[in-house]
Structure 1
Amino acid sequence: MIGRTCLLLFLMSLACVAAAAPPPPPHLTQRADFQQKLGASLPTTTPFTDASGRTASLAQWMDGRPTLLMLGYFRCPNLCDVAQQGMAHALALSGLTPGRDVSVLFVSIDPRDTPADAAHKQRMIAGMHGDANATTWHFLVGRRASIDALAGAIGYHYFYDARLNQYAHPAGLVIATADGRVNQYLMGVNYVPQTLHLAVVAASHHTLGSVVDQLVLLCCGYDPTTGRYTVTITRIMQGLGIGFVVLLLVMFLLLRRRSGASS
């Protein structure tokens, strides 16, 4: 009897909690997601302010390098911390050096965030992931017009939920070329270091990376469902076809040279 009473009370408490929790906003996945815009131009003249209070254009923060761009906000209670730490972990193991090979930008979507909030977040990430060189990252804040221009350019859809005093937003990473074009998206909060490395090499237009990296990019394509580069049969067949044509050309030239020598 006591056991049944406890079970009944437990079920009633669960029902009360469920009733008290606010329902999710309608059409949540449509209002907070990424619409991939490969090849889109970033608003490079748009101003943003860093943790030190310095204001400069997006192009200046990119500093002529391939760029990892992440949006979120500094007082985010859950998702942003996980995504930032995922990026820091992948960078530390990628073989890339932020500030030399790649620029790293985290841009707040909340115009209420301040340079002091940005500085606090930078110190936290740098303290937790010293091997990710987070002191060279740019943690940026901006006005609503600047934020919306950047979010619109990369297809980043988010909204403010006044009931929770939080932003609903997607998680992911945009890889841009040095001249400010969207080159690739890495979705989620966990990033494979080798995938991140290859994505930056691809965005560099072959100014970064080894011969092996170039061969991998030649034969593989990025699969957004797995978050990895996988072998593409079409590219292999194209490579074999090119190799066969080159081989025939070499044989033709050798035979022509021999026939010329014998005559």
Structure 2
Amino acid sequence: MSRLSRALLLLLACWLCAAETAPPPPPHLTARADFQQKLGAALPMAATFTDASGKTASLQQWMDGRPTLLMLGYFRCPNLCDVAEQGLAHAIAQSRLRPGSDVSVLFVSIDPRDTPAAAASKQRMIANMQGDADAAAWHVLVGGKASIDALAGAIGYHYFYDARLDQYAHPAGLVIATADGRVNQYLMGVNYVPQSLRLAVVAASHHTLGSMVDQLVLLCCGYDPATGRYTVTITRIMQGLGIGFVVLLLGMFMLLRRHPGASP
């Protein structure tokens, strides 16, 4: 038998061994680890969480009267969390949003075993990912099971602990909440378009944030809950054109009233 044949047989044996010993995925995985969108749902504002410095406060205090970007995960996650955090940090940096001023940013661990020290380590890691995302102004939070379950249930975040792997199966996505604690939008996945993130925060602020351009873009774009994205809507464009035409006619009418002899 040639050296190449022996190598191929060895690789085949290793693959068969791994296939036999690898645990099968948990039953009903997609139904047990997903996002059920609950637009308009109230957050548990009295639930308490602890930050990286050891300070414990209510969710309402951590949100601090601002529209809020809320992400759930856990610090030891070997799969989605680091990628989602990096995606969020990049989008915040590119969106020109200022954490702690325009918006509150909360990353809440779903693992009640996580500690403030682990939260501090996670916050440093996020800061190293994208320095201009101002991760020092984020709130990286841990909490007890009751607080975690209350928050996850309110936003429709379904997850479970897999004891075989000592890991949590969970979905990936971002919740945008209003300052008074209502779920306003979801952005799904691990990568977030900076302009979509900015528009979501502007909308959650009830238009108290954002430039005139942001307001005009929101007039022409609609939020699609199925995809968690903003899309151009022809209806809104036609409404905008109609309003502009009416304003133009009113302006011409007022001009003619002031100058009866002027021609249109």
List alignment gaps of at least 5 residues for structure 2: none
Structure 1 residue 229 displacement after superposition: 2.7
Please give the TM-score of this superposition, normalised by the length of structure 1: 0.92
Partner of 1:63: 64
CA deviation digits over 1:38-65, x for unaligned, max 9?
A: 1111111111111111111101000011
Tell me how far apart the structure 2 counterparts of residues 122 and 255 of structure 1 sit (CA, whole Å).
Answer: 63
Residue of structure 2 in register with 1:125 after alignment: 126
Partner of 2:33: 32
Instruction: Give, in angstroms, the shift of residue 243 of structure 1.
Output: 2.9
SS of 1:105 mapped into structure 2: strand
TM-score (norm 2): 0.91
Could you tell me which runs of 5 or more consecutive residues in structure 1 were left unpaired when the two chains were aligned.
none
Q: Which residue of 2 aligns with 1:50?
A: 51
Pairwise CA distance, 1:225:
6.8
- How many residue pairs were aligned? 261
> Could you say what the CA RMSD is over the residues aligned between the two structures, in angstroms?
2.1
Match of 1:72 in 2: 73
* Counterpart position of 1:194: 195
The alpha-carbon deviation at position 222 of structure 1 amounts to 3.1
Distance 1:253 1:130, change over 3 A: closer
Counterpart of 2:90? 89
Which deviates further from its counterpart, 126-135 or 140-149?
A: 126-135
Letter in 1 for 2:42: S
CA distance in 2, matches of 1:226, 1:27: 22
Deviation at 1:129, TM superposition (A): 2.2
Cα offset, 1:245, TM superposition: 3.7
In 1, Cα distance between equivalents of 2:33 and 2:227: 21
Corresponding residue of 2:166? 165
The 5 A counterparts of 1:4-43 are: 4-43=5-44
Equivalent residue, structure 1, for 2:100? 99
Equivalent-residue separation in structure 1 for 2:127 and 2:254 (angstroms): 59
Q: Offset at 1:89?
A: 1.2
Work out whether residues 187 and 224 of structure 1, in 8 Å CA contact, stay in contact via their aligned partners in 2.
no
8 Å contact 1:70–1:107 — kept in the other structure?
yes
Deviation at 1:74, TM superposition (A): 1.3
C-alpha distance 131-257 of structure 1, shift in aligned 2 (>3 A): closer
% identical equivalent positions: 82
Shift of 1:13: 1.6
Aligned AA (1:49): T
SS of 2:39's partner is: coil
Cα deviations across residues 85-110 of structure 1 (Å, max 9, x unaligned)? Answer: 11111111110111111100011111
Task: Give CA deviations for 1:180-200 in whole Å, capped at 9, x if unaligned.
Answer: 111111111111111111111
Matches within 5 A, 1:195-214: 195-214=196-215
